[in-house]
Amino acid sequence: MDPLAFEKLLSDALSEPQNADVRDRILQMIASSASLNRIRDDWLRLDLALRAALEAGPCGIDWAVLKQRIVAAIHSL
Amino acid sequence: MVSTQPVTPFANESDADLVRQTRDGRNAAFDLLVDRYNRRAYSAAYRLLGDAQDALDVTQDAFVRAYRRLDSLKEVERFPSWLMRIVTNHALNFRRSRGAGQRRASLDGIGADGASLREELPSASGDCPVVRVSAAELEVKARAAVAALPRPQRLALVLSSIEGMPQREVAEIMKCSVEAVKWHVFQARKRLRLALADYF
């Protein structure tokens, strides 16, 4: 398979992990190709790195205070 | 205009009912919409802006805008995606008006963001300090690379792949097809892979 098309399929699978059809297609492809397997590993590492970088963020927020702040802003209109 | 009365009487109402009741003057109903969606709104704003204080400001402004424009919402059952469109548009315009990379130093006490990388990369091994340093560097580089993505790619990636929003909802927010969302995410990932090639 064209590596570019395989990468597009990987991207779709990472965005829709619940899509079993796409996942199964990928598993079939990497079973018979070491190069596609390497590409898969690269994309998984990138995905994990992005999640680690971007998901580390909105912790420590007091949601009740945020809600009060928003409601107060609307109340002051 | 928003009542300070308890919102419990509305707790079991659908979003659409809360929108209708707010329009009918029962303004406490909007409090519950704030309660339901302030986390999602703040989270998306934070990931698009990368700054806790800016995200708070954008979240607050977005809800105020939504409240003011509630009469313009034609399909009331689509309140969540309509709100998120306001949040994301405001976040991206806010970022553009302030200038990429500019950050405030202070927080207002509501909370602070966790700066440390919480997960080891798959290539990382054990407690090696060198690995931890490169992971922290990668976090900074990854944030910068995401911030440098073209607007549609950044929006599609953050909402779809990080926030986990259904692609159909992301397509509604971006006013494009689901296939276009997938394409933007793919292009974003390819760019990020090139930008972060030194770390893999």
DSSP labels, A18-70:
T-HHHHHHHHHHHHT-HHHHHHHHHHHHHHHHHHHHHHS-S-S--HHHHHHHH
Angstroms from B48 CA to nearest CA on chain A = 9
Q: Of A50, A51, A67, A69, which to mutate for an interface test with B (greatest number of B Cβ within 10 Å)?
A: A50
In this prediction, residue B1 carries a pLDDT of 54
Nearest CA to A51 out of B171, B41, B199, B47 is that of B47
B140 to A23, A70, B28, B171: CA distances (angstroms): 31, 30, 41, 29
Q: Do B113 and A54 touch (CB under 8 A)?
A: no
Q: Do B119 and A54 touch (CB under 8 A)?
A: no
- Give chain A's radius of gyration (CA, Å): 20
Please tell me what DSSP assigns to residue B75. Answer: S
Residue with tokens 């990368």: B50
Mean pLDDT value across residues B165-185: 92
Residue B105 backbone phi and psi in degrees, to 5: -90, -30
Q: How far apart are CA A72 and CA A34, in angstroms?
A: 58
Q: Which residues of chain A have a CB within 8 Å of the CB of B189?
A: 7, 11, 14, 43, 46-47
Nearest CA to B46 out of A28, A59, A46 is that of A59
Mean pLDDT value across residues B115-141: 49
Q: Half-sphere exposure of residue B185, counting CA atoms within 13 Å on the CB side? A: 34
**B2-16, B35-49, B82-96, B105-119, range with the lowest pLDDT:** B105-119
Residue B104 DSSP SS3 = coil
Q: Which residues of chain A have a CB within 8 Å of the CB of B157?
A: 50
Task: Give the nearest partner residue to B193 out of A46, A48, A60, using CB atoms.
Answer: A46
pLDDT in tens, B90-113: 998 886 676 544 433 222 223 323
Q: How far apart are CA B196 and CA B142, in angstroms?
A: 7
Q: Which residues of chain B have a CB within 8 Å of the CB of A14?
A: 161, 189
- Does this model's pTM top 0.95? My answer is no
Burial degree of A77 (CB within 10 A; 0-12, 13-18, 19+):
exposed
First-residue to last-residue Cα distance in chain B: 53
In this prediction, residue B69 carries a pLDDT of 96
Question: Is the predicted pLDDT of residue B40 greater than 60, yes or no?
Answer: yes
List, as ranges, residues 9-68 from A with C-beta within 8 Å of B: 11-12, 14-16, 42-63, 65-67
In this prediction, residue A17 carries a pLDDT of 81
Task: Give the nearest partner residue to A15 out of B113, B161, B200, using CB atoms.
Answer: B161
Q: How far apart are CA A57 and CA B113, in angstroms?
A: 5
Q: Do A48 and B64 touch (CB under 8 A)?
A: no
Angstroms from B200 CA to nearest CA on chain A = 7
Task: Give the nearest partner residue to B67 out of A45, A69, A74, using CB atoms.
Answer: A74
Q: Do B56 and A66 touch (CB under 8 A)?
A: yes
Residues 6+ away with beta carbon under 8 Å from B94: B49, B54, B57, B58
Question: Is the predicted pLDDT of residue B19 greater than 90, yes or no?
Answer: yes
Q: What is the mean pLDDT of chain B?
A: 78
For B42, name the nearest residue in chain A, comparing CA atoms only.
A58
Angstroms from A47 CA to nearest CA on chain B = 8
